[in-house]
Amino acid sequence: MRYSKLVGKTVRNAPADAVFDSHKLLYKGGFIRESTAGRYYFLPLGWRVHQKIAQVVREEMDKIGGQEMIVPVLHPLHLWQETNRTQSVGFELMTIKDGREFQFALGGTAEEMFVDLVRNLKLSYRDLPFNIYQFSTKFRDEMRARGGLLRVREFVMKDAYSFDRDETEFKKTYQQMADTYTKIFNRLGLETIKVEADNGYIGGEYCHEYQAESPIGEGKFFVSENGKYSAHADVAKFKREDKNIDEHLKPYKEVEAVRGTTMEDGVKLHGLPLWQQMKCVMFAVDSEVRSSRAPQGRGDLNEIAASQAPRNDELILAVIRGDLEVNEIKLAHLAEANHLRHATAEEIRTLGSEPGFISPVGLTGKVKIVGDISLRTVKNLYGGANKLHLDALNMNIDRDFTVDVEGDIAMAQSGFLTEDGKSILAERRGIEVGNIFQLGYHYTKLMKGANFIDEDGKEKPYYMGCYGIGIGRTLAAIVEKYHDEKGIIWPESVAPYQVHLIDLKNNASTHERINYVVDQLEQAGIEVLWDDRENVSPGVKFADADLLGIPWRVVVSERLGDKIELKSRSSGQVEILTLNQLISKLNNSPSFRA
């Protein structure tokens, strides 16, 4: 490919809103351009990388018997209604009508489509297990499209769906897929950490994300120092320390408390430790949410109260030890709620309570009370008493209040002990590049007729899993890892070209030699980007080569005669070789053909 003819050249300035290195470098290098917020053109260089990544994924999927196919982008909306995902999906669903007023969902994921296909095939146990996959455009109406390719509204995903006979067989499929994902990301040059993750409203025991560790990553997860445990912040478990459990129960009493509404205000007023303070946070099951859970709040003693008018949503009171934070994902699961929001001040007052002074004492039967297991590690708690400037002392679970549901609703923190008490948790950040989920019977029991004929002649539902890799996000994650102050440094497995050939003078004296070199390289199966621009200085060509990040820079010049200069983009090492030596070296290096 002649660079002079390439659509999409380098530019010197990135967009003003570009924050992350991947966004800046992919734009400056001519790999991508933005259409509207969160939607990108992949220019020829960018699409070559995109396709190289997809090919690695395809090869590894095919090795384990994956069968590639494609489903329509427009999903009949009635299929999503059949599984209730028009209400419970974890992202904003986009819908459209055609000219016949037929309603469609723009596919965000494709479980319903694949299940609808398979149920109409009328298969038997002899056809199981199998996994089918596609590379398809997905649509997510993200509230905050940002970070270039890292958070977008339209993207290509490899989504795969496995169909098994039962959970026992599924476990084998799941492990096989987990191993395959590790191989995929290793081939792409990404060292990933497989972390336990939230399975959303579906639930289930098996769900993992593949996180490429990065300081700019939105994903927060925890790993144990001994390397035996890793989990996303949404689900990470830890051991609660026992505090004063040997202390005798003291009489409950209420006292005047002229204070502010923060946890710190309570500590200052009573002169007692933060861990002995009771934290109460009132939530509502949100019936009008945009489908993305609100960010976690910090700092208020009992509640962060919004000013909007009350809505008739079910209220849930989370009760936890004062030195811990409420994990809204864990809370939603334990309370069996799809989406939560912080309750308004008006909603709190309808219970006869007061923002900043909420207490479970006296609220039994008025609100669903969900208590964290940390309440068993402390005695004689203090906190609000459901009236302005009134606090309660010596509150104890079971004696002074009861909870409707008790379990783990706390956010893990660095330095906490693992659940088994044998190691310490450390917080990490990463870019989620893939995920694998246990679906079980969730979809096949909701969608009528999603059955196979078992050996005994009876119909039984398929046991499913799903497995996703975002190709564009993976591309950005690679750039975040492989770059320097000059530009991108592509791993050979995904580089748009293997060789960046530079003709320093680009005149008649070198044309014959250059054409011969290009011809020999391409005959050897080596992909070449030839910078053939006229009236462009060697310095500019070298700078552009560094920015584009193609693994090998080859220079042909009169000064070198029959020899050729080869420079590694990653190491900077320069060698002077014959053409045959050059071809031999390149063919023996790791490449996308491996």
The string of pLDDT tens digits covering residues 457-501 is 999 999 999 999 999 999 999 999 999 999 999 999 999 999 999
Task: Pick left, alpha or beta for residue 204 (phi over 0 → left; psi -120 to 50 → alpha; otherwise beta).
Answer: left
Burial 516-550 (b: 16+ CB within 10 A, else e): ebbeebeeeebbbbbbbbeeeeeeebbebbbbbbb
Distances (CA, A) of 160 to 68, 174, 388, 449, 464: 9, 12, 55, 21, 10
Provide φ and ψ at 227, rounded to 5°: 75, 10
Name the pTM for this structure.
Answer: 0.90
The answer to which of 138-147, 285-294, 475-484 has the lowest mean pLDDT is: 285-294
Residue 154 to residue 543: CA distance in whole angstroms = 32
Residues 6+ apart with CB under 8 A from 169: 128, 129, 463
| % of the chain at pLDDT higher than 70 | 93
Quote the mean pLDDT of the chain.
92
Q: How many CB atoms lie within 10 A of CB 590?
A: 12
Residue 161 to residue 117: CA distance in whole angstroms = 12
Give me 27's structure tokens: 């734009």
User: How many helices (H) and strands (E) in the chain?
Assistant: 14, 31
pLDDT digits (tens, 9 = 90+) for 422-452: 999 999 999 999 999 999 999 999 999 999 9
How do strand 528-531 and strand 499-503 relate by DSSP bridges? parallel
Residue 61 to residue 286: CA distance in whole angstroms = 39
pLDDT digits (tens, 9 = 90+) for 327-372: 999 999 999 887 899 999 999 999 999 999 999 999 999 999 999 9
Give me 102's structure tokens: 């037929």
pLDDT digits (tens, 9 = 90+) for 53-73: 999 999 999 999 999 999 999
Place of tokens 């659509």: 7
Got the DSSP string for 224-235? Answer: ETTSS-EEETTT
Categorize the per-residue pLDDT at 93 as very low, low, confident or very high, splitting at 50, 70 and 90: confident
Residue 223 to residue 237: CA distance in whole angstroms = 11
Residue 198 to residue 232: CA distance in whole angstroms = 8
DSSP-derived letter for residue 124 is B
Q: Residue 312: is its pLDDT beyond 80? A: no
How do strand 74-76 and strand 103-106 relate by DSSP bridges? antiparallel
pLDDT digits (tens, 9 = 90+) for 159-218: 999 999 999 999 999 999 999 999 999 999 999 999 999 987 665 678 999 999 999 998
pLDDT, greater one: 457 or 508 = 457
Burial of 379 (0-12, 13-18, 19+ CB in 10 A): buried
Q: What is the pLDDT of residue 560?
A: 84
Contact 33, 8 (CB under 8 A): yes
Contact 522, 528 (CB under 8 A): yes
Residue 408 to residue 330: CA distance in whole angstroms = 7
Contact 505, 558 (CB under 8 A): yes
Q: What is the pLDDT of residue 88?
A: 66
Residue 365, SS3 per DSSP: coil
Q: What is the pLDDT of residue 89?
A: 60
Residue 186 to residue 193: CA distance in whole angstroms = 11
Q: Around 239, how many Cα atoms within 13 Å sit in the side-chain half-sphere?
A: 14
Categorize the per-residue pLDDT at 543 as very low, low, confident or very high, splitting at 50, 70 and 90: very high
pLDDT digits (tens, 9 = 90+) for 71-80: 999 999 999 9
Provide φ and ψ at 6, rounded to 5°: -70, 130
Residue 49 to residue 42: CA distance in whole angstroms = 9
Q: Read off the amino acid at residue 8.
A: G
